[in-house]
């Protein structure tokens, strides 16, 4: 039996199909034009500095204009004043709430070994604490901690658009990380992976941070130099650097721009939160870094960040 659709229904279906097609085409064109514009506008830039500004009541537009868009670090003194973590996150709190969680090893000399939060805290508070022992874990290991802080408006992030599995697989080590470290511990001189900017929020204690502009990378021996006790015989080019040193106090957040090497050491026992992020100010540079490591992933990443439904579909089918 041959059933024909009423003319008006056929017209509606055709109109709907044409409309959806036009929307998709226009959206793709806008996406391509936007990326071309970003590639021209958001290039790697940095500003040489002699000191790091400390700012309060900083608007988002001021942050972009004076820091993010010109590759300049800044310490923001009032961005975490309403965080519950400021008073809630203590060693006793983590002993009672996170004792059994396993933590990773960020030590520069210690071999990897299994350790729980409770075991780690016992070692960091011991009189003979190993200065190379510095461990951390992703906030995702204990989701209730998300309730205790809020990402400052300056650091809006596209990464949460990704499905959970590829997010953890490709960016797990760059997501928000909790650091608990004893006095004099450090993870060493480094720049953050995939050329991503970062922010570090100090909950308690004090840190000393030494920063280097991206153009000094050739003098830093891929981060092998101990900035706080440099060996000039082993690393003679380090003498050409112009480091900028700053102390980070409890309640402050520092923004570290793209490709800035930095060496952070705990002046006192400290608890801090650190995170990398992607947004319009760094996306094209990050995409290029991803392509250099994994060409296919580097081409897919911009699409799934722009069109999260594609990412969900690829993740569901196991292709991502």
Q: What domains are there in the chain, each with its CATH number?
A: 41-277 (2.60.120.650)
- Max mean pLDDT among 125-139, 158-172, 237-251 falls in 237-251
User: Which of 262, 268, 265 is closest to 250 using CA atoms?
Assistant: 268
> How far, in Å, CA of 196 to CA of 282, rounded?
7
Phi, psi of 37 (to 5 degrees): -65, -40
Largest CA distance in the chain: 91
Q: Which pLDDT does position 116 carry in this prediction?
A: 82
Q: How far apart are CA 320 and CA 303, in angstroms?
A: 12
Range from 22-26, 99-103, 237-241 that averages highest in pLDDT:
237-241
Contacts of 121 (CB under 8 A, 6+ apart): 91, 94, 95, 180
Q: Which two tokens stand for residue 287?
A: 């995409």
pLDDT at residue 108 is higher than 50:
no
Distances (CA, A) of 82 to 86, 87, 98, 108, 312: 8, 10, 23, 34, 34
Between 32 and 182, whose confidence is greater?
182
Q: What are phi and psi of 281, to 5 degrees?
A: -80, -15
> Among candidates 285, 314, 302, 291, which has minimal Cα distance to 28?
302
Burial of 14 (C-beta count, 10 Å sphere; 0-12/13-18/19+): exposed
Cβ contacts of 251 within 8 Å, gap of 6 or more: 77, 78, 80, 81, 86, 202
- pLDDT in the model for residue 103: 73
Mean pLDDT of the chain: 85
pLDDT tens-place string over residues 60-83: 999 999 999 999 999 999 999 999
Q: Tell me what pLDDT residue 142 has.
A: 83
What percent of the chain is modeled with pLDDT above 90?
A: 46
Determine the pLDDT at residue 45: 84
Give the pLDDT mean for 17-41. Answer: 74
pLDDT digits (tens, 9 = 90+) for 178-218: 998 888 888 889 999 889 999 999 999 999 999 999 999 99
State pLDDT tens for residues 245-262: 999 999 999 999 999 999
Query: Would the pLDDT of 244 be above 80?
Result: yes
124-137 as b/e, with b when 16 or more CB fall inside 10 Å?
Answer: beeeebebbbbbbb
The token duo for 200 is 């570090």
Residue 3: per-residue pLDDT: 52
> Tokens at residue 237, please?
């080019």
Torsion region of 184: left, alpha or beta (phi above 0 gives left; psi -120 to 50 gives alpha) = left
The yes-or-no verdict on residue 160 having pLDDT over 90 is no
């Amino acid at each position: 039996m041959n059933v024909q659709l009423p003319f008006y229904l056929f017209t509606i279906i055709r109109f709907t199909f044409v409309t959806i097609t036009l929307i998709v085409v226009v959206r793709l064109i806008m996406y391509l034009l936007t990326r071309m514009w970003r590639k021209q506008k958001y290039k790697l830039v940095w500003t040489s500095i002699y000191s790091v500004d400390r700012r309060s009541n900083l608007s988002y537009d001021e942050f972009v204009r004076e820091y993010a868009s010109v590759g300049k670090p800044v310490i923001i003194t009032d961005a975490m004043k309403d965080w519950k973590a400021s008073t809630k996150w203590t060693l006793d709190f983590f002993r009672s709430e996170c004792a059994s969680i396993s933590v990773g090893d960020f030590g520069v000399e210690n071999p990897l070994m299994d350790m729980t939060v409770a075991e780690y805290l016992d070692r960091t508070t011991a009189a003979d604490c190993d200065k190379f022992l510095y461990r951390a874990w992703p906030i995702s290991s204990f989701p209730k901690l998300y309730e205790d802080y809020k990402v400052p408006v300056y650091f809006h992030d596209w990464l949460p658009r990704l499905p959970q599995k590829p997010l953890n697989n490709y960016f797990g080590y760059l997501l928000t990380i909790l650091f608990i470290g004893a006095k004099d511990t450090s993870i060493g001189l480094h720049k953050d992976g995939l050329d991503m900017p970062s922010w570090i929020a100090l909950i308690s204690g004090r840190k000393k941070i030494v920063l280097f502009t991206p153009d000094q990378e050739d003098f830093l021996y891929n981060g092998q130099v101990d900035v706080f006790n440099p060996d000039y015989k082993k690393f003679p080019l380090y003498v050409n650097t112009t480091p900028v040193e700053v102390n980070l106090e409890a309640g402050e957040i520092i923004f570290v721009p793209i490709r800035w090497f930095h060496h952070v050491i705990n002046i006192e026992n400290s608890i801090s939160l650190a995170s990398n992020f992607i947004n319009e100010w760094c996306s094209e540079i990050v995409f290029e870094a991803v392509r250099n490591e994994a060409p296919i992933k580097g081409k897919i990443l911009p699409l799934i960040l722009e069109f999260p439904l594609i990412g969900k579909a690829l993740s569901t089918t196991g292709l991502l």
